[in-house]
A and B are shown apart, each in its own frame.
Chain A
């Protein structure tokens, strides 16, 4: 025990005595996330306000008063007040984003509509630009106006207006802020956490183990009477604590930037949507993942001859973990299958995002935690074997 503690302390001291390591391990992740996500949130937010509050600039010819009234009620717009445009010019202006919409009605539109039984149908020509958000939005709004106009006109023509009516539609957006915030957490966090746990452990693990081999200090360490197992444990535990602190920094960064990211302007997006027990579960899952990731990195580092080789050999594992994280973030639903919770990294990540969406299942939690811990124990046993192996420690 005492020896584990001695090795543990040394690895911790190593990081905390190095200002650059402190910066890259504990300050950068949180700060970087905070800045990136706040910025992203602000940009998205700015775009959204711009589009929804923008007054669409519309060029029309012969717009009937009835339609204008409807438009006034349902959209922000301004009419183009320059000289009349020919068709080519107006199309060009829509294409270049100078105009959002061009609406060309037949000269005698209203008369034609009224004399529909004897006359030909009136034309409306509409030009918009689907690639321009503002134009698309103006077009959609205008479509709504036309539908309304169409409907009222048809009803007027019928002898029994009630024949036309199928239902009374009442739509309400009853979005639950809590679920909405949770959705954001569930999507982002697990991926970020996996990436930052790995990145943190990767920045110190190879140095702490492969570094000893590369420098030759492993021999000095191994001629002490300390058991190999204690050395392995001391290293894994210290790396775990450091990686966890590093992950915590990312976590804080995410929590602080979330209000900006989700543009929940006035109210803080409440991390308080989660209770104490939720946090405990998150913490347990974090720990379980940290231990597993650190054990993998430690084993790879014990296998490699140099720090560089270790960093290279870890890459495939890093990518695998990243894929799991990304899959989870963009792959839709949470799996409730017990078997999938046996898969390392995938299980905890899946559970984490489920739990962030309030879809927590005790059985799966137990399965994930126990299996992950089991894998970690196996990896530490492997590490112990590697530390004992002449081949691994003194390979040519």
Chain B
């Protein structure tokens, strides 16, 4: 048993320490908002925050997050920026299939935490490794600007 802190709560997980955080979240804790897309850090569908920083949970061993704070899409609205990003996403109807969007939102929230007024180039740099097969990129960009405006 390993105890990790997810969305502000301590949770016990019955998995080996080297299990990727992704599968512990999804299969043990049934926090299924974090998605599997590639398993090898290529797509960004699995992005969560560890101590506020974006990480790819598919290649993050469970043992490395012990004692740290994990935030998933299910808990991101506890924070003002998280709420603003979700609201912008809803206002602009960014989603299509939606499967990549938890990861997109987590990456966008992480960007806005360190950069309150990102330029298009900042967005390209921060979001460049989050694939959306539905190519909702036009609206992802617009929603990040929208969230930045609403937070200003």
A and B: real partners? no
By a beta-carbon cutoff of 8 Å, the part of chain A in contact with chain B is none
